Amino acid sequence: MHVAETLTVSSIQGFLDPIDLLDLDVALREVRDDVDRGRLSATARAESVHSIDGFTTAQAMAVYEPQGRDELMSLPAGVTAVLDRAAARALPGLRTVLPSARAMTYWTFVSYTEGQFISPHIDLSDNDPDPDRPKVAGLSICLTDIADYRGGEFFVETACDPDQWMTNGTGTPRVRAECDESSEWYRRQPRTRWRCRPNRGDAVLYGSQMTHGTEPVTAGRIEKFIGFVTA
C-alpha cells in the first residue's frame, strides 16, 4: 500500500444495483424497526465504530457524534451477503485507483436524522484485528434518495500541513493518531472542505488518512453503510 492511496477520493456509481437495493429493503426490515424503536440510538447502544485512546466509548461518541446517530455494527447475514456480492463486482475496477485493494469489509449501518452529524476526523490505516491487512480507504454507501432529505452532505477536507504527519520505523509517513476533535491542534487546523450528495446506491471512497465527516441533516433521514477497503 502506497501512502498516496490513503489520500485518494473516488466514487463507484451504482455500487448497489436495483436488485441489491430491493434485497436490502427486505433484509433491513428488522434493523429499521430497531431504529424506529430507538434501540440503535447513541443513548441505547454501548458500542461505536469510533474510538479515542484514553476515552470511554461514551466520551468518544460525544466527540464524533455530539447529537447522536443510529448505528449497527453486527449486521444480519442477509445484509452482509448483499454487500459482499456488490464488493466482489466493484473490486476489479476499484484496483485501477487503489492497486492495493484486496477486500471490502467491516460493514456498519448508520442512520442520521435532523440535527445529527459526524465531526471531522481521520480513520487511520491501522487494522487491529488483522495488522497485515491495513485499511486503504473508507467506503460510504448511500441508501436514501437525495430527494428524501436535506443537509447531511458527506465531506472530505484537505490540508497541506506537515504537523499532521509523522514517520514510522520504515520511513513511511503516516498521520498522527489524534486526528479528531478531541485534539486542540486538529480543531484549529485550516482545511478546505469538499462536499457531495451521492445518489442512492452510489459509494464514495475516501483514503484512510483523509479527513472526512457528515454535515448536519436539516430535514428527513439518511441511511448509509460504511465499510473499509483493506490491502
pLDDT (average), residues 178-194: 93
Pairing mode of beta strands 103-113, 149-151: unpaired
Assign domain 3-230 to its CATH architecture: Sandwich (2.60)
Amino acid 191: pLDDT: 95
pLDDT digits (tens, 9 = 90+) for 19-48: 999 999 999 999 999 999 999 999 999 899
| C-alpha dist (Å) from residue 47 to 57, 108, 117, 137 | 7, 12, 17, 22
**To which residue does cell 464488493 refer?**
87
Residue 215 has pLDDT above 70, yes or no: yes
- What dihedral do alpha carbons 61, 146, 103, 166 form, nearest 10°? -50
Amino acid 176: pLDDT: 85
pLDDT digits (tens, 9 = 90+) for 100-158: 999 999 999 999 999 999 999 998 787 777 777 888 999 999 999 999 999 999 999 99
